[in-house]
Amino acid sequence: MSIPDLNLLVTLDVLLAEGSVARAAQRLQLSPSAMSRALARLRETTGDPLLVRAGRGLVPTPRALELRERVSQLVHDAESVLRPANMLNIRQLVRMFTLRTSEGFVENFGPGLIARVSEEAPAVQLRFVQKPNKDSASLRDGTVDLETGVVGEMTSPELRAQALFQDRFIGVVQMGHPLSQGEITPSRYANGRHINVSRRGHDQGPIDEALKPFGLKREIVTIVGSFSTALALARATDLIASVPERHTGNLRAGMHSFSLPVSTPKITVSMLWHPRMDADPAHRWLRECVRDVCAGQLTDSSTCV
């Protein structure tokens, strides 16, 4: 019985992650023709086409989808076996970590995290990328090391998650706004002009549901995709922004914040990563840094009236 070429596992892992012969060839620094030959060998070895033409692109077969996670884990385990087992020296660590987060998280927690990392590991770089959706593909293929956000129905069950902090929604207005003085009642709050934050462009949310028992409805003047944008607009207009309190602590400086006059569900912000990174010492250190920075920021966060 012939022994299969185990180098094909690396090729298969990259092909299934990229879904493109050209991109896989570029990532492995091979010519497109060499990658096409490797795909042909994989098809012969597995007895399955693996990637088939669909329009102008390629889509994985059911067999390829079945193999994707197993192959990725096998390649990662093999790399771990061949990696030197020396104790990790954080101060000498040279690595770039990619974190997928919201703008608000970067603006509020980024300075503390960068300071912590720079102090302990001067040669480590942090790259923050935007989070347009909850697709876990970037965590699965390793292009993103860590993600922050709210775990929900769209979050892949394969991911590891650890809570960082709980947050609640508050109202924020510019100084001198009518709502910066006096008691905030449901009626006063609802009768103002509001900014709604929705990545998908929705004009309704949990706050609107909480106002319904009072027979009240907000006037939504504009819809934006991020809390930082909502705060920038509220700072320059008479509009009311409703944002997570702890998530936006630094962004609200110089503005008036107040507790909402209705009860809304609290949200739990977590960090998420792929299970293959569980045992990686450098990744464990990064997770510890994120936990500590978020915990320290909470103790310093100001409460609203």
Query: Which of 139, 155, 148, 154 shows the shortest CA–CA distance to 72?
Result: 139
Q: Over the stretch 71-95, which tens digit does the pLDDT of each residue have? A: 888 888 887 777 665 678 999 999 9
pLDDT-based confidence at residue 2 (cuts at 50, 70, 90): low
Name 143's bridge partners: none
Global confidence as pTM? 0.67
Domains belonging to the chain, first-starting first, are 7-82 (1.10.10.10), 90-167+268-300 (3.40.190.10), 169-265 (3.40.190.10)
Q: Rg of the chain over CA atoms, in angstroms?
A: 24
Q: Over the stretch 95-152, which tens digit does the pLDDT of each residue have? A: 999 999 988 889 889 999 999 999 999 999 999 998 777 677 888 888 999 999 888 7
Q: How far apart are CA 271 and CA 151, in angstroms?
A: 9
Q: How far apart are CA 278 and CA 287, in angstroms?
A: 10
Q: Over the stretch 9-56, which tens digit does the pLDDT of each residue have? A: 899 999 988 888 999 999 999 999 999 999 999 999 899 999 998 888
